[in-house]
Structure 1
Amino acid sequence: MDRVHLSPPSAACADPDQDVVARADAHAVAPLLNCFLREVAEPRPGTDGRRVYRLSGSGRLLRVLGERRPAEPELRVAGAWQRVGHPDLIKLVADELRRYTGVSNLELPAEMIDSRDAVAALLTARARATVPDDPYQRSEQSLLTGHPHHPAPKARGGGPVAAWLPYAPEAHARFPLTLLGVRADAVVEEGDTAALDTLGEAPPGYRLLPAHPWQLGLVDLAPAFADGRLIRLGTTGFDTWPTAAIRTLYAPERDLFLKFSLDVRITNDIRRLWRHDLLKVRRTDAAATAAFAAGRAAWLSDRGYRTADFAFEELAVLVRDGLRGHLLPGATPLLAAGLVEGFDGSPLDGAADPALWWEAYLAQVVPPALEAFAEHGVVLEAHLQNTLVAVDAQGMPVQALFRDAEGVKLLTDVERAAGWERLVYCLVVNHLVEMAGALAERHPAVDVWAAVRRELARHDLPEVAGLLTAATLPGKTNLLLRWTNADGADARYRPLPNPLARP
């Protein structure tokens, strides 16, 4: 059997730089192992308190420490377990995927390295940054690990750190928007974009168009500036800050979210506002808005977009509702993904009664997603990064807020079974499994899945009975998607053990 050459282990070091190296490696190893072991490995009986897997490509054995965030991988070599550092893990993953799929990919290993190096840069930057006072901002900007089941969750397109670090949420970035003037006859817009005209002042014959400064460094707009279709109008007189989505910025002074195109691959996709998505976003947003017209939960509407006809996707900006018109009085919004990752002041850490906290969380998050599906035919992309959970002064969940019409599907466009599978993946696998795991780590006495079963069983939806008894749940195969260069929207699922099914 062919072997992957493993580098000798390095000695531990008290050097602060070495501490950053070790922490960056740990942040990078966990999500890579999660998707690798989920997608191309089979569990075997463990040894020494570690979980053992047979790798599907070669039959080699790999063992890891921990379950939710695996660490310290070791490969069975010549009858002994040998530690695998992050660089060698990348080699091992690439070798296994070549064997398993029969295809090669030079791009993804480079992204894995870029992702790990980005984490190191972010750790260094965070050590110097001022932590925001606002708990909502802290929650949005806490994702140092990021997507827990992606091989390169922090890859930033392979560009130099100086090009992207000033705009990184994880570094607590704040910056003004660049303001452009677009010649009026070149403007394309749909929906309510009036908020954009309040950001500055355009001269006669032009319309105001804010731009993300990082994006302006990625696209060539020289011809449009040269012939006057575009002009520069300076910057906003206020700062914005990036949410976890990176290209979505929040302007707290205006209580406004703005989503931009960003010609960078982040997780599975180049993050442009694609024309085909923009042309249908008003329809999906209207359906989601109607689904949340009554009740406590809220929908942050993507109420309109504006762009230029000569750079439709490159310069597009989507206008999203702010928070204040939707939040319950006195409630503090927090990003669900931030609760899982952890941040200073998280109510998940300080819950006086964690079982009661979890029941309150489920009562806010689960019913709106199921009711939107059952009563309105709306399939929310209710994963961790698209869900905000508002808490009261005691840290108890009192409201859920959902966002991102671009990810919404409608049952008028997809088969019901496909829509349900997507909802189960987003809401249960991506969201509740991760939140339950984070809660159980902090409070192991809580029966997290009994509470989820009770909450789901309250809903008279035909698919729920099957969900509670199915042996498996659909797990998205992000590693195989990227290795085979499949479209990011072309979700493929692998069956995962269903924690909802009683033993």
Structure 2
Amino acid sequence: MHRSATAEAEITAELTDVRPGLVPGYTRELPGARAAVLTRLWRGLAYEPLPWIGHREPVDGGLTLRLADGRRLRGPRTDPYATGAYVTEVRLGGVAYDDPVRLMTDLAVPHSAGFAAELGHSVASLALSRAARRVPPQERPRRDWEWEQRVVDGHPFHPNCRARLGFSVAEQLAYGPEHASLVELRLVPVPAGECLVTGVWPQWLREAGRVMVPVHPWQAAHVLKRTGERRVAAHPLMALRTLALPDGPHIKTALSARLTSSVRDISRGSVAASAVLSDLGEAVAARTDGLLHITRALGAVYAGSPDLAAVLRESPEEYARSGERVVPVAALATTELPRSPGWLNRFTRLALTVGLRLLELGVALEAHGQNLLVVLSPDGDPVRLVYRDLADLRVGPARLARHGLPLPELPARMVTDDERTLRRKLFGSLVAGALAGTAGSGPVLRSALESAVPDLVRTPDMLALRDEPLPAKALTLMRLSPRTPGDQWTELPNPLHDTLL
């Protein structure tokens, strides 16, 4: 039995126990979930520098991949900026595959077995998320977490778009934002003398010489093996480990589970740097003529381990004026909003103006659809941007110095003057990520970029964006290279002038 069937059967069995009424809907969603994951996988196979693919060749309206061992893998021509599920079958030799897990298993390349298992979880969890979603598609969200609940399918381009390894069905239903559940965070007490605290840690999270650390219930049960006596309810956001208090800030918790590519934690260095990063973010945002707001880290705590740490962050709603809405870019495609002609062009111009301005100043944003939010006017027009979570910025000291900005004390991994690294960070997240996901296809993205680019300041960064291949994270290669740390990259055809495969 292939791992896809195993993962699907496991969820079916668990659903039969905890939510039997969902079994028929889950079963109906499985073919579409397989196609969605297969589409993302085929994109990676078509464009990433995988060492066991020798040659790619457009043939008869499709694409043939010649593998290093002589086999041929055939599928449709692919648009690297398209979203959705348009790949329903590929052929390896003479065998047709509609299941990404069976395909990856039979490719039998290095580390494919582990990746196949992840793909199986992605398919099964995606079908569960689609079957169990609780938000009516026609309902207009009012609060920030309600927008986050709209993003049912996860990352638009990652084959592990919905993988939640280590989560049971009951835990997925209880903690996934698409299921619109309230999550009870555990408040774990730690002696104040054992904690690094930066910013202002509020009094309601202090008690008799102890700091109360908000802990995700999954983390408390599976990693810390402890529970807090006190609890606080919050709404889960797209990041899963970050939650919104009903009338307060957002809480970023430690959650040592693999979601899409990485096991994320909250390091001592990021807690130590949280306040100075907020100051730097505000300093560069102040030079965008009011087009960008940065959500500040209000307070952060590190209680002796990356598994026991938390950050309190401003809600993006703080930056909405009367009648305005603040919407995560990843949620733009999930709800019908009033859009006047040229809306995408204006949004693209706004996003590139801000992103390139900060890059010129020396700050490269990780501006994917989860971190980047757009402020919409009462009429639905994009008027400003909000950026949250500064932990993955890249900062160029030489650029800062040219503009009279001091370099704060930051973790070494964040600091670089390498032009390629800085541009990859911004272009890979903003253009190949947020803007491509919003556009939904290469031709639409091209049209938006063609409208926006002539109005941009002609910096070396803008010229690189216009003239060079577009960098993007090699998401499939990264999962097939478990011993290679950090990000790996590929180059996609520049939608402004290249012909897509």
Aligned to 2:356: 370
Secondary structure of the structure 2 residue equivalent to 1:401: strand
Q: Deviations over 1:432-466 (max 9, x none)?
A: 2332335967xx9x9323113224xx214222223
The reply to whether residue 51 of structure 1 matches residue 51 of structure 2 is: no
Q: Assess if the C-alpha contact under 8 Å between 2:268 and 2:302 holds in 1.
A: no
The reply to whether residue 379 of structure 1 matches residue 391 of structure 2 is: no
Secondary structure of the structure 2 residue equivalent to 1:149: coil
Report how far residue 110 of structure 1 moved: 1.0
Change (3 A) 1:475 1:133: closer
Report how far residue 91 of structure 1 moved: 3.5
The reply to whether residue 247 of structure 1 matches residue 238 of structure 2 is: no
Q: Deviations over 1:345-370 (max 9, x none)?
A: x32xx4231x2x12321233222221
Change (3 A) 1:31 1:270: same
Change (3 A) 1:160 1:221: closer
Alignment of 1:443-482 (within 5 A): 447-455=447-455, 458-470=456-468, 472-482=469-479
Q: Deviations over 1:53-72 (max 9, x none)?
A: 32444441311376424321
Q: Which amino acid aligns with 2:470?
A: L
Q: Assess if the C-alpha contact under 8 Å between 1:105 and 1:484 holds in 2.
A: no
Report how far residue 301 of structure 1 moved: 1.6
Report how far residue 327 of structure 1 moved: 2.4
Q: Assess if the C-alpha contact under 8 Å between 2:101 and 2:116 holds in 1.
A: yes
Report how far residue 158 of structure 1 moved: 3.5
Q: Assess if the C-alpha contact under 8 Å between 2:473 and 2:487 holds in 1.
A: yes
The reply to whether residue 501 of structure 1 matches residue 497 of structure 2 is: yes
Alignment of 1:338-349 (within 5 A): 338-339=331-332, 342-344=333-335, 346-347=336-337
The reply to whether residue 92 of structure 1 matches residue 95 of structure 2 is: no
Of residues 194, 214, 220, the one that matches 1:210 is 214
Change (3 A) 1:486 1:422: farther
Alignment RMSD: 3.0
Separation (CA, whole Å) in 2 of partners of 1:94 and 1:453: 43
Report how far residue 241 of structure 1 moved: 0.9
**TM-score (norm. length: structure 1):** 0.81
Aligned to 2:298: 303
Q: Deviations over 1:154-185 (max 9, x none)?
A: 11123322233311112222223222322233
Secondary structure of the structure 2 residue equivalent to 1:217: helix
Separation (CA, whole Å) in 2 of partners of 1:210 and 1:132: 30
Q: Deviations over 1:240-260 (max 9, x none)?
A: 111111111111312x11101
Q: Assess if the C-alpha contact under 8 Å between 1:36 and 1:93 holds in 2.
A: no
How many pairs align?
449
Alignment of 1:24-43 (within 5 A): 24-39=33-48, 40=50, 43=56
Alignment of 1:306-325 (within 5 A): 306-309=301-304, 312-325=305-318
Change (3 A) 1:251 1:46: farther
Alignment of 1:22-421 (within 5 A): 22-39=31-48, 40=50, 43-47=56-60, 51-57=62-68, 58-64=70-76, 67=79, 68=82, 69=84, 70-75=86-91, 77-78=93-94, 83-86=96-99, 89-96=100-107, 98=109, 103-126=110-133, 133-134=141-142, 136-194=144-202, 197-198=203-204, 202=207, 204-221=208-225, 232-236=228-232, 239-254=233-248, 256-294=249-287, 295-309=290-304, 312-339=305-332, 342-344=333-335, 346-347=336-337, 350-353=338-341, 355=342, 357-375=343-361, 377-412=362-397, 413-417=415-419, 418-421=421-424
The reply to whether residue 427 of structure 1 matches residue 430 of structure 2 is: yes
Change (3 A) 1:334 1:46: farther
Separation (CA, whole Å) in 2 of partners of 1:142 and 1:482: 27
Q: Which runs of no fewer than 5 residues in structure 2 stay unpaired?
A: 6-23, 398-414
Q: Assess if the C-alpha contact under 8 Å between 1:114 and 1:158 holds in 2.
A: no
Q: Assess if the C-alpha contact under 8 Å between 1:30 and 1:148 holds in 2.
A: no
Q: Assess if the C-alpha contact under 8 Å between 2:348 and 2:449 holds in 1.
A: no
Separation (CA, whole Å) in 1 of partners of 2:58 and 2:228: 63
Secondary structure of the structure 2 residue equivalent to 1:178: strand
Change (3 A) 1:133 1:284: closer
Counting aligned pairs with the same residue, the percent is 23
Change (3 A) 1:65 1:474: closer
Separation (CA, whole Å) in 2 of partners of 1:16 and 1:184: 49
Separation (CA, whole Å) in 2 of partners of 1:127 and 1:323: 24
Change (3 A) 1:278 1:51: farther
Change (3 A) 1:277 1:305: same
Q: Deviations over 1:74-125 (max 9, x none)?
A: 31644xxx54121xx3233345471xxxx33432211111111111221232
Aligned to 2:20: none
Change (3 A) 1:372 1:128: closer
Secondary structure of the structure 2 residue equivalent to 1:370: helix
Q: Deviations over 1:25-46 (max 9, x none)?
A: 2332222222222224655335
Separation (CA, whole Å) in 1 of partners of 2:142 and 2:347: 21
Q: Which amino acid aligns with 1:104?
A: H
Q: Which amino acid aligns with 1:207?
A: V
Q: Assess if the C-alpha contact under 8 Å between 1:182 and 1:207 holds in 2.
A: yes
Change (3 A) 1:140 1:324: closer
**TM-score (norm. length: structure 2):** 0.81
Q: Assess if the C-alpha contact under 8 Å between 1:111 and 1:158 holds in 2.
A: no
Q: Assess if the C-alpha contact under 8 Å between 1:333 and 1:389 holds in 2.
A: yes
Change (3 A) 1:462 1:395: same
Separation (CA, whole Å) in 1 of partners of 2:224 and 2:92: 50
